Structure 1
């Protein structure tokens, strides 16, 4: 049985459709920031996927091409410019399956959470939930309850730890934060300034981007990425977390039959 405990780096980043702080859509800036992060798993929100459109909207393809050795899953949440728009997860480790969960509330912008099963070591799977919640208070109350139920985070047949991260659009201790903190571990990321705020990128005033996790995952370090490029590339800052597994040999074996879509 394997006893080596792997370390891995995961990052969450709302790309804002590659629209920077100067209002220009420049995918190349986002691609450079993603390379700077040096992450093993990337959870991205607000990604345009328009293969038949102009290059500026063919963002999912450009990202996948930039990381040719990564496994890729895309969760489309709504139509966009003749293609789709949603969340994207990339991983150096195998993605053994994925599923997109609809969290949309009627008369609000469609939202979703992209679930991926990622095998970080032989037989040891982490369930990664790439989240993008709504901007409305009542909308998030609805989405929080939908998230914390047997259809999504509380699926009875999940085996192994869960990692829930992304843009929660919540900067106060609302119902989403309270529910997730009651079920998961979390942290405050380290920051070059006094407060760990993620939005807006150039002059962050609030924290919208968060990470929650189960043991035996443990946070080794965490920080917000504030390179010169990151300050301009999007209206969010990337959040980076380095995890280690205390003893991967004690993680439950993943026995479900899966196939990546």
Structure 2
């Protein structure tokens, strides 16, 4: 079975420079990805000030519902709550979502963070999906990564197909090794090495070859920092790319990642 997925920090549906609503253009851009499952961060569940100030540009629906439209089911995990609204993570799925839960992993009072876990019922079986947005401080991210590992370990079978995607804010790439070692995942850009032979890949994992590096996704106009990731278990990565350029720079400060996956035989058997 093949899946097309995407992860995207949508910057609450407003432009990164002038904070103008971009939610309608964003919906068109998401549709152009033709993704079966979208992992979204900074989704505005409610914002009374924008709804009043930009009534003609701001949908009456919550952003996750508006972006899902008729083609996808939307699940929202509320993280940050304030007087005029709230925002969080969301998962949009072309397939039924049979269960969902949101775990608070906030590390201090100044940042509200969460892990949204959804079980998606695909034609090949259940896939455990985790939408992640980690904190801005290194110590917070380490503790939140530990919480992520514990969440995946306790909420999904050890051999179940897993997708973990989102904004990790891990520009120094300190967290990937722990996720690989503890959860058996790979990042969708892990195979983009100078030498793509299997031996070179094993040497890299053992620390004797080129360091595995995620893609650059921030800022969207000219990506330099490696903030956004997609980790998978039980899938083969067919393609992975960062979408960037003038169009995407107008929509958010992050560039989205789109990947095409195929479920491997062992995971297919487990999912069934």
Q: What is residue 264 of structure 2 aligned with on the other side?
A: 246
Q: What is residue 201 of structure 2 aligned with on the other side?
A: none
Does residue 1:12 correspond to 2:7, yes or no?
A: yes
Does residue 1:77 correspond to 2:84, yes or no?
A: no
Select which of 216, 224, 238 maps to 2:242.
224
Q: What is residue 224 of structure 2 aligned with on the other side?
A: 205
For 2:236 and 2:132, locate their aligned partners in 1 and report how far apart those are by CA, in whole Å. 20
For 1:131 and 1:59, locate their aligned partners in 2 and report how far apart those are by CA, in whole Å. 26
User: 1:39-83: per-residue Cα shift (whole Å, max 9, x none)?
Assistant: 111110001111766156658634523421211100000214533
For 2:16 and 2:109, locate their aligned partners in 1 and report how far apart those are by CA, in whole Å. 28
For 2:95 and 2:180, locate their aligned partners in 1 and report how far apart those are by CA, in whole Å. 27
How many Å apart are 1:186 and its aligned residue? 1.6
Q: What is residue 3 of structure 1 aligned with on the other side?
A: none
Which structure has greater helix proportion? 2
Does residue 1:46 correspond to 2:23, yes or no?
A: no
How many Å apart are 1:171 and its aligned residue? 1.4
User: 1:200-251: per-residue Cα shift (whole Å, max 9, x none)?
Assistant: 1012111100011112x11110001125421211000010010111338842
Q: How does 1:79-228 map to 2 (within 5 A)?
A: 79-121=81-123, 124-149=125-150, 152-155=151-154, 158=157, 160-174=160-174, 176-182=175-181, 183=183, 184-188=185-189, 196-215=215-234, 217-226=235-244, 228=246
How many Å apart are 1:153 and its aligned residue? 1.0
For 2:20 and 2:240, locate their aligned partners in 1 and report how far apart those are by CA, in whole Å. 28
| TM-score, structure 2 as length reference | 0.80
How many Å apart are 1:117 and its aligned residue? 0.3
How many Å apart are 1:252 and its aligned residue? 2.0
Q: Secondary structure at the match of 1:251?
A: helix
User: 1:105-145: per-residue Cα shift (whole Å, max 9, x none)?
Assistant: 123311001100001115x1000000000000111111111
Q: Secondary structure at the match of 1:236?
A: coil
Q: Secondary structure at the match of 2:108?
A: coil
Q: Is the 8 A contact 2:161 2:267 kept in 1?
A: no
For 2:143 and 2:79, locate their aligned partners in 1 and report how far apart those are by CA, in whole Å. 17
In structure 1, runs of 5+ residues without a counterpart are 1-5, 255-261
| TM-score, structure 1 as length reference | 0.83
For 1:109 and 1:145, locate their aligned partners in 2 and report how far apart those are by CA, in whole Å. 17
Q: Secondary structure at the match of 1:154?
A: helix
In structure 2, runs of 5+ residues without a counterpart are 193-213
**Which structure's relative contact order is higher, taking Cα pairs within 8 Å and 6+ residues apart?**
1
CA RMSD between the two structures? 2.4
